[in-house]
Chains A and B, each alone.
Chain A
Amino acid sequence: MFNSGLIALRELKERISTRSFILMSIMGPLVILLITYMLFAYGGDGKQRWRVLIADPAGIMENKIMANEDNAVAYSFADDYLEMEEFRDGKRFQEFDALVEINEKVLSNKTVFVFYRDKPAVRMQTRIQFQIERRIEERMVDQFTDLTVPEFRKIKQPLNVAFRNANDPMDESSDKRGWVGFFFGTLIFTFIFLFGMTILRSVAHEKSNRIVEVLLASVNPRQLMLGKIMGIGVAAFIQFVIWCFVIGFGLYFMREFLFIDALDASKMDMVQMTKDVQEQTSFDQLFAAREYNEFVELIYERVQFSTMITYFLLFFIAGYFFYGALFAAIGATSGSENDGQQFVLPLIFLLCLALYAGYFTLLNPDSSTVDWLQYLPFTAPVVVMVKLAQGYAPGEGYQLYLSLIILVISAVIMLFIAGRLYKNGILQFGHRIRLTTLFKWLKKS
């Protein structure tokens, strides 16, 4: 085992000192963050700050619009009539991006004009419309009814007709969360494939340059294979931790500095002037976040990262050993480096199949096919990740543990099988792999 440790340490040092490792460690999470950022930003130019002038000669809004300042929009009020041309050309109005014209008839004709210099993004239009609408609404309630604003809003709220699965009334198996699971599953397979190929190349390289014979005079083939898989696995793990750290920091940075109002409803559009409207419920906050961007809400509110990452690691490690052993066996049994590359095709097919299984689970979470796909070691890592993200129904939690146990046992068996192929194939050179040969090597102790 000490020798396996030395082999692992050497592999680890070699991997983490390569340029591709360093590049992947930095570029990989940055690309994911970029994609996340674009998804966050989709639907609204949330970070752009607008200055809006409200011309309210009748004083309907009483020079107020919200209790707190909105980071995205800064409102100013003008008591006089303001012509659109004057706003457009007047020097003192150039600092404003838009003019909101509130005329005295607004309470009856319910029409407000917004003149802009550059067309605001849809997101910004919605924001300004919502905030003005709410303030006018408050004024109308005050003027025309005896109701308080909260009472009015209770009446006004549209009826929410929610479609729910009878077997999943809490809507735990959300498609969106399933996608997060699919993302994690894909991440597992991406790492397995990238580092599995590293195992294969490393084994085939040692074989072709014949250093393997020197190593085998000190360690037995199984120790060598295990050391190699472990060393490269630790490199993969380190890279994953770097990814987590960079992505985690990136998400935090985005939340704190770029999408500051994404989840904080008090900073957004729910709080109007009237104090009693400030009674915010968690549902309101969720609603606010969802209004802003469903993806933001999904990432920051609905995904249980601690659970996901824990099981991600467990399935990643077991899945890595399962597939890693296969990659090592291919590397050891191939007659040349190119020969090994060709035999990767069936493995790629298996990996694609696993990804498809994850996608299938996403679309058909209740399918009976999913029940056995989650137990197949080839597909388990991605299928379980999707299922985990969607949420297991009460009483089905055992499926998660059963999948993990089956995968771990399969990985051990695969290491044993691969060890035998490795032992019998590592010193064979220049041959072509045939299935019959592989079976012979498997039978041979």
Chain B
Amino acid sequence: MNSLLTSAVAGLSAGGAYAILGVCAIFNYRLVAVVNFTGAAIGAAGTFVMVALYEAGFPLAVDVVAGVAAGALAATLIGLVMTTWFAGSSASTKAAVTAALLVGIIAVGLRLTGGQHPHNFPEIVAGSAFRLAGVEVTRASVLTIAISVLFTVLTEMFLARTRMGLQLRALSQRPMAAELIGIRVKLLALCVWAVMGAVTSFALMVIAPLRSPDFMSISLLVVPALAAALIGAFTSFRAALVGGLMIGVIEGLASGLDAFSQYRGAIPFVVILAVLLWSQRGARWDEAR
């Protein structure tokens, strides 16, 4: 039993990463109606700008700020592509475009960052916060989970309570109508992209030292992140937050159990399937009746 708890806690650090990226994916979908495959890649771009400056000898604080800014800029550029050329396209077209962009970004990113060659990622928050069930829970994991919770709460409040939030909701649901009633659609959308880029970049900087330190691995974190977002049905921030943590914990549990550990990579998909079946059960049954 104790070893199970150990394995579960060991999965927390991955879970925190999935949670924040999942929440960002929903942020993207709910506010600008794009299922964004490039989220983690944008974060990776920001992170690598930070590393490049760090390796060039600039102080860490400068690197972090510049990295976050670079992430926001990269996201804005992608946002510009999406709002300029694909504003009226269907959700699936937009998703396909971001998937294509992801492939391009990874290819360029790998070239620019020296392929598989590792980099020395500075620890932005070093050390461990506490020890639980024999596992050191790092400050980095605690911080990522904290960021996801904070981001979730703030975004929910912002959307529900502020005028701008209302405009954003209008923008994502009826972009044409929103434009007609005088909402500055493009500017708002670009702001959403920039915020997403900045948050993802910072979150990835925090977790990068304990991940495989190359551009592709970090960019591909988007897969479990989208799984987490799907658990939230691309609407509920809270469900995505919990879902992301859950996927991490289940992965941790699976690697502790020999019988399951070789199927570890499939876990996000099993979770998605289970959630979809559960959430759609009403519709199915209603139809059957």
Say if A and B assemble together: no
